[in-house]
C-alpha cells in the first residue's frame, strides 16, 4: 500500500511498462490543515512498483504551470497511454486567472514515464458550448471538463477519450454527463450533479489528436 504521512493522496491511474507498475496520483500537503483546500493545491505524484504492494517514490510527474498559464493553480486527474514509443498523459488543469472555476484538459509526453514535457498547444480541449455547460455562477459553481480517460479502440485502430462534464440543459442538479468524442454526451440519470474519475460509459465517438 502507498501511504504518505505528510500528504493527502486521492485519484490515481496506472501505466505498466517492462514489468513495472507506475502509479500517478493527486496529492496535496496535509500542512494545509483543511482537506477541502487540497483541490486547489493538487499536484501529480508518481511511484513505481513491481508487485503493487511495495512502492518507490519518484519525482513528481506534473505540477502547476508558470504564472499566467492555463494550469498555474493546480493539476488534476488524467490518464496515461503509450503510442509509437511515446507515453501520453492527458490531465486536467485549473488557473488562477478564473479562480480555478474553469477546467481544461492538456497533454504532457514522456519517453520514460518519469520526465514529462507539457505540450506547447495546451490546453488541448475546452468545453464545447453546443453540448456542455459553460461557467455561470447563477447555475453552478464551476465549468466541469475534467478527468480525461484515453484508450485505444482496436476495432477501429483509433483512440477515444471520455471526459467528465455537465450538459448545458436540464435541471442544475442533474446535468452530470460523460463526453465520449465528437457528438452529444452520454445521457445520465436525474440527480447526477457532476461526474468524477472512474464513472464508466461506452465510447460514443472517435477522434485522433484533437480528442474532441
Record the cell numbers describing residue 20, joined without a space.
Answer: 513495472
Closest CA to 89 of 52, 70, 63, 50: 63
On whether the CB atoms of residues 173 and 193 are closer than 8 A, the answer is yes
* pLDDT per residue as tens digits for the range 29-85: 999 999 999 999 999 999 999 999 999 999 999 999 999 999 999 999 999 999 999
Which residues does residue 8 pair with via DSSP β-bridges, in sequence order? 28
CA 72 from centroid of its chain's CA atoms: 15
* 20-29: strand order across its sheet: 7-17, 20-29, 43-49, 56-62
Which domains, ranges and CATH numbers included, belong to the chain? 7-179 (2.115.10.20)
pTM value is 0.86
* pLDDT per residue as tens digits for the range 107-132: 999 999 999 999 999 999 999 999 99
Closest CA to 180 of 205, 155, 208, 157: 205
Amino acid at each position: 500500500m502507498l501511504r504518505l504521512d505528510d500528504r493527502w493522496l486521492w485519484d490515481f491511474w496506472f501505466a505498466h511498462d517492462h514489468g513495472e507498475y507506475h502509479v500517478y496520483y493527486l496529492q496535496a500537503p496535509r500542512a494545509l490543515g483543511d482537506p477541502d483546500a487540497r483541490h486547489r493545491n493538487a499536484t501529480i505524484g508518481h511511484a513505481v512498483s513491481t508487485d503493487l504492494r511495495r512502492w518507490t517514490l519518484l519525482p513528481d510527474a506534473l505540477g502547476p504551470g508558470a504564472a499566467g498559464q492555463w494550469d498555474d493553480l493546480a493539476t488534476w486527474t488524467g490518464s496515461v497511454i503509450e503510442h509509437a514509443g511515446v507515453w501520453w498523459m492527458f490531465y486536467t488543469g485549473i488557473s488562477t486567472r478564473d479562480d480555478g472555476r474553469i477546467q481544461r484538459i492538456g497533454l504532457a509526453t514522456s519517453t520514460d514515464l518519469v520526465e514529462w514535457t507539457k505540450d506547447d498547444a495546451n490546453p488541448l480541449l475546452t468545453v464545447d458550448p453546443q453540448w456542455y455547460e459553460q461557467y455561470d455562477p447563477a447555475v453552478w459553481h464551476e465549468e466541469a471538463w475534467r478527468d480525461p480517460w484515453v484508450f485505444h479502440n482496436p476495432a477501429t485502430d483509433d483512440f477515444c477519450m471520455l471526459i467528465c462534464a455537465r450538459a448545458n440543459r436540464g435541471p442544475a442538479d442533474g446535468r452530470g454527463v460523460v463526453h465520449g468524442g465528437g457528438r452529444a454526451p452520454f445521457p445520465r440519470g436525474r440527480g447526477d450533479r457532476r461526474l468524477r474519475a472512474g464513472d464508466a460509459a461506452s465510447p460514443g465517438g472517435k477522434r485522433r489528436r484533437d480528442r474532441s
